[in-house]
Amino acid sequence: MAAHSAVLSMSKIIKPFWGGHLGNTVKVFGTTLTSHRNKSSLTRENIPPPAKYGGRHTVTLIPGDGIGPELLNHVREVFRFSCVPVDFEVVHVNSAVETEDDINNAITAIRRNGVALKGNIETKHTMAPSVKSRNNLLRTSLDLYANVMHCQSLPGVQTRHKNIDIMIIRENTEGEYSSLEHESVSGVVESLKIITRNNSLRIADYAFKLAREKGRRRVTAVHKANIMKLGDGLFLQCCREVASGYPDITFDSMIVDNTTMQLVSKPQQFDVMVMPNLYGNVVSNVCAGLVGGPGLVPGANYGHVYAVFETATRNTGKSIANRNIANPTAMLLASCMMLDHLKLYDHASSIRNAILNTMNETRLHTADIGGQGTTSEVVQTIMRFIQSKGQLTSEY
Amino acid sequence: NRFQLEMQTVTLIPGDGIGPEISSAVMKIFETAKAPIRWEERNVTAIKGPGGRWMIPPDAKESMDKSKIGLKGPLKTPIAAGHPSMNLLLRKTFDLYANVRPCISIEGYKTPYTDVNLVTIRENTEGEYSGIEHVIVDGVVQSIKLITEDASRRIAEYAFEYARNNQRNSVTAVHKANIMRMSDGLFLRKCREVAENYKDIKFTEMYLDTVCLNMVQDPTQFDVLVMPNLYGDILSDLCAGLIGGLGVTPSGNIGANGVAIFESVHGTAPDIAGLDLANPTALLLSAVMMLRHMGLHDYGNKIQTACFDTIRDKKVLTKDLGGNSKCSEFTADICRRIQDLD
């Protein structure tokens, strides 16, 4: 019985390599197998951002649920004010329906435009287990294999730990999030965690390339290979292989439970961290909490061709939705990351500087960082900072 | 108004490395406190039984089965020894299904987090640590996470019982049912069902990532947390980090048939073994947890107060707590305080 289901699950894994989305995955397969040691097409700089006509980019916008819609409206407001040459194609995804039409439309739109900015789409428990997480579907269909999060202590925000500067690179498509589950006997459920050599090499390669690009000294792999000897053992082995090609960067590894313990006592010891999906979820949330909370940290999901930007901790924030108290910083910083990706560097820095200056004004802090400011006050102040720098702004 | 309680036997497993010295420190403190405990020392090594299966020595098993309560020091983890780890063997032998770690901030041992007072209850037999892994094709590995109805119900029931017996207000189930719909969904369903029978305890559910996020910002919002194996491993170590690390964290393992083994969860520290430098706090606090489990709350409170007072005083701290004293000096100070308390 177990063997039978293992074969079924195997076919689910093997199929994407040779069936389905042939174009991207063959490219991935090919480059990873033959040239993962060379530079070239794996860095996103070489891929021109598509969907640019008349100097204006088109970006897919998925409002999502909870605080997503209001925060993304603020992003549009700031972009309009700063005359950013980006048009948004809005695609709504209804989390209450069981069919996958909405999310498939969103995926098609992202394929067309190449870049997206999204809020989190809620996954309702009341629906049947066959209704999979929409966010997860999006990530796996577009093969957004690297989730990158940069946690930095912001000067204006009070936290228990200072001087944190950690880059977290998390494998985004496989591992525990493979959504392969079955009930073999009544009352016994098996959930499969898949680790593959290709994806592990790919993410390790991404991590080391990024570390080199940003001038970072150390990469730490987070794992639990003492217990999951084959799965995490394979991941660790792949990281070591890639590490040998980067002698200028120190590589070490740490078990995930020790990692969390070290993070809450001495987070300054970490530089770049790379890990499989679930540990990435835990570690990125711990780090986001250490630098001040979910409202401050932006996140990016990169694939070879597509990029999707969102808040790092992917919260829906249902309880604070539509009350004008959500912190717009994370979403706005994510939009700046998107502007960098589109090579609109000037606009990105101007908005980013405005955000950081606003962060220094304690009276404007929103509730999540201990203040009483409202979202609209923060956004207005950001726009005022942008205007004061002399950039071209619109009147509305 | 003191009546002599009859002596209760406890199986003591000193362990390796610093195990023996911290065990004798604990025994000395208990003697000073006149706790009604008779220690039965046993050694635990892996031996091959009939049929080729690895097991613990029969005298150790016999002692535990009779006394039902055990206190264990750190055990060496073998690498390529051909047999599984001793902790795993103990877990399998006594079906230790619940790992309980109360994390309470120690006054006097400063960490960035104050006022932490929570308990993590981790399912210890299945989940991601089932050890079932296969290589499907070369380069593709599959690890199986197993969640069963019985184990989930058992751990949920233990969590609510613990909350009730220890005057805790709420139990939070930690899960990732948005991604692992069926497995964590089953765990969550069982928790909800058990919660129906414990209406006096508040039951909430929270995603693992939200718990992590909130834990490092404000740990005071949590009370009792119940979760499957892997999340429990990560979260219990995270919480230990909040209060100061594994050197000061107690831990208890509850098994079927009323067996309970309390242990220190730090390593064997072979580099300082035998040098009288070890910190016995973790084992001592686990022993206090054991006293409470046995209903000997007075003795437990007395020893805990003495221990915390010594740490707060900062005069005779061991090296890992920031001081320069020996283990024996630290122990002697605690004993002195216990005598003063009487």
In the three-class reduction of DSSP (H, G, I as helix; E, B as strand; rest coil), residue A186 is classed as: coil
pLDDT given at position A41: 41
A111 burial via Cβ count (<10 Å: 0-12, 13-18, 19+): middle
The Cα A180–Cα A161 span in angstroms is 39
B303-308 mean pLDDT: 93
Joined tokens for residue B15: 């362990």
To test the contact with chain B by mutation, choose from A186, A260, A281 the residue with the greatest count of B C-beta atoms within 10 A, namely A260
**Residues in chain A, pLDDT under 50:** 1-42, 44
ipTM for this prediction: 0.90
For residue B180, the one-letter residue type is M
Q: What confidence tier does B206 reach under pLDDT thresholds 50, 70, 90?
A: very high
pLDDT given at position B129: 82
Q: Tell me if A181 and B180 make a contact (CB, 8 A cut-off).
A: yes
Could you give the percent of chain B with pLDDT greater than 90? 72
Q: What confidence tier does B268 reach under pLDDT thresholds 50, 70, 90?
A: confident
pLDDT given at position B97: 95
Query: How many C-beta atoms lie closer than 10 Å to residue A229's C-beta?
Result: 15
- Please check the confidence at residue B1 and state whether its pLDDT lies above 50: no
Q: Is the dihedral of CA B125, B128, B129, B131 positive or negative?
A: positive
B79/A contact by beta carbon, under 8 A: no
- Residue from B105, B320, B245, B312 nearest B333 by CA: B312
| A250-277 per-residue burial string, b: 16 or more CB within 10 A, e: under 16 | ebebbbbbebbbbbbbebeebbbbbbbb
Tell me the shortest Cα–Cα distance from A133 to chain B, in angstroms: 6
Tell me the shortest Cα–Cα distance from A1 to chain B, in angstroms: 14
Residues of A in contact with B208 (CB under 8 A): 281-282
> Which chain A residue's Cα is nearest to B189?
A125
pLDDT given at position B81: 62
pLDDT given at position B230: 87
- Whether A249 contacts A243, CB under 8 Å: yes
CB-facing half-sphere around the CA of A335: CA atoms within 13 A: 32
The Cα A375–Cα B102 span in angstroms is 39
pLDDT given at position A30: 35
- Whether B282 contacts B264, CB under 8 Å: yes
The Cα A109–Cα A50 span in angstroms is 12
pLDDT in tens, A239-250: 999 999 999 999
Whole-model pTM?
Answer: 0.88
pLDDT given at position B134: 92
pLDDT in tens, B80-113: 666 677 888 888 889 999 999 999 999 888 899 9
Task: Find the CB nearest A260 among B141, B144, B241.
Answer: B241
Q: What confidence tier does B52 reach under pLDDT thresholds 50, 70, 90?
A: confident
- Residue from A173, A107, A217, B197 nearest A121 by CA: A107
pLDDT given at position A126: 77
In the three-class reduction of DSSP (H, G, I as helix; E, B as strand; rest coil), residue A307 is classed as: strand
For residue A314, the one-letter residue type is R
Q: Tell me if A6 and B142 make a contact (CB, 8 A cut-off).
A: yes
Q: Tell me if A313 and B238 make a contact (CB, 8 A cut-off).
A: no
Give B 30-59 residues with CB within 8 A of chain A. none
